[in-house]
């Protein structure tokens, strides 16, 4: 169904045209309860996550129209289908069951008539037990030395998710084993990490859903040779674990079969943080931290499933992103985390949203009739205030922004933390309401933002925050009418990279290549051996 042909969309479009003439200052003046009614607090065990939408350019009437759009798009039905294992990734004929990975024992989720939950929990137990054995020293390196470092080798979802989790949890939990992350095929990346490690005490987690990812396998080969030089080729397998849809390929690659952990084809890479892809962090922080993160994700899953649409945080976040992108024509969205521990969150959401919803055709292969995913970018505050916040305040483009903060700090520096949070609140205030002064000092205001606050940064709240954005992306995809779970746009580049690699190895074999690429290959081969 093309949502733009529905009366609900037409009404929302008309409302957007009207609301664009209204300022946030006016909206707050009209409704003294606006901050309360446009905020949602989700309980996450002993913790909480507050989402404040009140500084978005929308009123209650327009929000009701967006809810009608969600209903017309079948968001609730599609949500329920996803959780129950229906095939919603049509181009790959797969369910999208990342939610099953954090569902409690006793839950039943069927894929092709088979309940997958026993296998999910079996693998989770294997991951936890393996990680605890590494942490305790029961699993050691070839020379008997206890592992001191673990290197996660992956790219995309196999890197961004684990990196985010590690940075976030390191702020309050001391890792038992030092973790490092290698993703880029640039050998400078992997060599820089290896300089910080000892091959005798280094363990490697190789994450590749297909076990064919070029960047991951290239880095794996470099690390394997580095370890081999120290402990011998026949002992390399004692230092490697594999996470893949095809764990059996580990044995064919000379790695230990009992160090291989499965993931499933029905979990997309950018949604895989709930799986064995997170093994590096289970080793670093322990199985309790992993279980608590899953519990936090499950709490948000439950909220997404049970809360009415008008009080459903992921639904409202997704609809307001559509409001800004598709109805008001705002092409980008900034992500600014006022927590150094969340410095990679913008990169994580960038992949999650742009790879999921950066599509130009609908699920049934028709050209979309509305703008889809915004360009997501951002960084960490307060650094952002001294970089790109100038554009957000006084630039000619209106850039919606998500601000993320944490109420408590694990350090004793409460005064500095208070100042950090004050800056967060002040920036959203300045964006919303601006000020009047001489031209160079005037801030127009009326710049929309959403503020998300975690009571503390724990495995629970981190999991809930990640799940919130996962479901928000899903809601947007439902309204766009696209398949949020495939990524065919990255496949052609991979194919062509393999062809160009062959041309670099055999420069005379450039037939069929465009003139620019042939010239670049020739130039590269001329200079590549220079040192």
Q: Which of 386, 440, 495, 527 is catalytic?
A: 386
- Please compute the mean of the pLDDT values over residues 124-150 and round it to a whole number: 97
Give the neighbor-by-neighbor strand order of the sheet with 149-153. Answer: 178-182, 149-153, 202-207, 240-244, 260-262
For residue 197, is it left (φ>0), alpha (ψ between -120 and 50) or beta? beta
**481 contacts 362 by C-beta, under 8 angstroms:** yes
The pLDDT assigned to 333 comes to: 98
Do residue 60 and residue 123 come from a single domain? no
For residue 434 the two structure tokens come to 């601006």
In this structure, is residue 5 part of a structural domain?
no
Active site residue 36: no
pLDDT over threshold 70, residue 531: no
Active site residue 355: yes
- This prediction has a pTM of 0.96
Do residue 155 and residue 47 come from a single domain? no
Domain final residue pick, 254, 288, 322? 288
In this structure, is residue 302 part of a structural domain?
no
Do residue 246 and residue 138 come from a single domain? yes
Do residue 392 and residue 407 come from a single domain? yes
Active site residue 440: no
Do residue 92 and residue 231 come from a single domain? no
- Strand 47-52, strand 39-44: pairing: antiparallel
In this structure, is residue 294 part of a structural domain?
no
* Percent of the chain clearing pLDDT 90 (strictly above): 87
The pLDDT assigned to 25 comes to: 96
In this structure, is residue 173 part of a structural domain?
yes
The pLDDT assigned to 511 comes to: 66
- Round to whole Å and give the CA distance between 508 and 515: 14
In this structure, is residue 269 part of a structural domain?
yes
**428 contacts 451 by C-beta, under 8 angstroms:** yes
Do residue 282 and residue 323 come from a single domain? no
Tell me how many domains the chain contains.
3
Helix (H, G, I), strand (E, B) or coil at 510: coil
In this structure, is residue 186 part of a structural domain?
yes
For residue 370 the two structure tokens come to 């509305």
Q: How does residue 510 score in pLDDT terms, banded at 50, 70 and 90?
A: low
Do residue 142 and residue 275 come from a single domain? yes
- Please compute the mean of the pLDDT values over residues 5-33 and round it to a whole number: 95
For residue 494, give its domain range.
Answer: 490-527
Do residue 184 and residue 209 come from a single domain? yes
Do residue 275 and residue 329 come from a single domain? no
Residue keyed to tokens 């952002």: 384
Do residue 138 and residue 232 come from a single domain? yes
In this structure, is residue 122 part of a structural domain?
yes
Cα of first residue to Cα of last residue in the chain, in angstroms, is 58
In this structure, is residue 29 part of a structural domain?
no
pLDDT over threshold 60, residue 102: yes
- Please compute the mean of the pLDDT values over residues 217-239 and round it to a whole number: 96
Do residue 388 and residue 427 come from a single domain? yes
pLDDT over threshold 60, residue 99: yes
Q: How does residue 247 score in pLDDT terms, banded at 50, 70 and 90?
A: confident
Query: What is the separation of C-alpha 431 from the centre of its chain, rounded to a whole number of angstroms?
Result: 26
CATH number at residue 186: 3.40.50.10490
Q: Which of 25, 46, 118, 494 is catalytic?
A: 494
Do residue 322 and residue 336 come from a single domain? yes
Maximum alpha-carbon separation in the chain: 74
User: Half-sphere exposure of 386 toward its Cβ, with a 13 Å CA cutoff?
Assistant: 3
- Please compute the mean of the pLDDT values over residues 363-368 and round it to a whole number: 95
Q: Which of 200, 353, 355, 470 is catalytic?
A: 355
As a three-state string, the secondary structure of 451-509 is EEEECCCCHHHHHHHHHHHHHHHHHHHHHHCCCCCCCHHHHHHHHHHHHHHHHHHCCCC
Domain final residue pick, 226, 253, 288? 288
* Percent of the chain clearing pLDDT 70 (strictly above): 99
Report in angstroms the alpha-carbon separations of 156 from 124, 181, 182.
Answer: 22, 12, 11
């Amino acid at each position: 169904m093309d949502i733009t042909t529905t009366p609900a969309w037409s009404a929302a479009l008309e409302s957007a045209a009207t609301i664009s003439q209204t300022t946030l200052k006016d909206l707050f003046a009209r409704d003294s309860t606006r901050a309360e009614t446009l905020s949602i607090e989700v309980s996450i065990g002993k913790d909480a996550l507050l989402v404040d939408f009140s500084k978005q350019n929308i009123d209650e009437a327009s929000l009701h129209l967006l809810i009608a759009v969600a209903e017309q798009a079948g968001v609730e039905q599609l949500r329920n289908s996803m959780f129950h294992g229906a095939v919603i990734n049509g181009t790959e004929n797969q369910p999208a069951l990342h939610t099953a990975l954090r569902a409690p024992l006793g839950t039943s989720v069927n894929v092709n008539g088979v309940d997958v939950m026993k296998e999910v929990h079996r693998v989770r137990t294997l991951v936890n037990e393996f990680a605890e054995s590494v942490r305790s020293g029961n699993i050691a390196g070839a020379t008997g030395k206890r592992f001191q470092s673990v290197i996660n080798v992956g790219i995309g979802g196999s890197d961004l998710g684990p990196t985010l989790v590690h940075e976030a949890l390191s702020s309050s939990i001391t890792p038992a084993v030092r973790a490092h992350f290698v993703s880029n095929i640039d050998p400078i990346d992997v060599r820089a990490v290896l300089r910080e490690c000892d091959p005798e005490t280094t363990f490697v987690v190789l994450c590749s859903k297909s076990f064919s990812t070029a960047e991951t396998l290239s880095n794996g080969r470099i690390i394997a040779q580095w370890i081999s030089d120290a402990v011998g080729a026949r002992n390399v397998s004692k230092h490697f674990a594999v996470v893949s849809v095809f764990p059996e390929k580990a044995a064919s690659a000379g790695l230990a079969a009992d160090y291989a952990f499965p993931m499933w084809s029905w979990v997309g890479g950018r949604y895989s943080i709930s799986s064995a892809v997170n093994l590096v962090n289970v080793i670093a922080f322990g199985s309790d931290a992993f279980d608590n993160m899953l519990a936090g994700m499950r709490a948000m899953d439950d909220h997404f499933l049970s809360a009415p649409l008008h009080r459903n945080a992921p639904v409202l976040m997704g609809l307001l992103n559509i409001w800004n992108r598709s109805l008001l024509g705002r092409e980008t969205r900034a992500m600014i985390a006022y927590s150094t521990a969340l410095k990679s969150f913008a990169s994580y959401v960038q992949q999650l949203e742009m790879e999921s919803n950066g599509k130009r055709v609908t699920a049934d292969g028709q050209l979309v009739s509305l703008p889809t995913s915004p360009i997501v970018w951002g960084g960490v505050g307060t650094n952002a205030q001294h970089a790109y916040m100038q554009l957000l305040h006084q630039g000619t483009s209106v850039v919606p922004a998500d601000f993320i903060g944490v109420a408590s700090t694990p350090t004793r520096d409460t005064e500095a933390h208070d100042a950090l949070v004050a800056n967060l609140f002040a920036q959203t205030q300045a964006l919303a309401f601006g000020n009047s002064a001489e031209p160079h000092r005037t801030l127009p205001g009326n710049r929309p933002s959403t503020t998300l606050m975690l009571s503390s940064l724990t495995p629970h709240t981190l999991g809930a925050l990640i799940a919130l954005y996962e479901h928000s992306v899903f809601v947007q995809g439902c309204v766009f009418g696209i398949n949020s779970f495939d990524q065919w746009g990255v496949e052609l580049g991979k194919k062509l990279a393999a062809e160009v690699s062959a041309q670099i190895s055999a420069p005379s074999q450039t037939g069929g290549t465009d003139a620019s690429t042939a010239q670049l290959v020739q130039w590269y081969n001329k200079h590549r051996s220079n040192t």
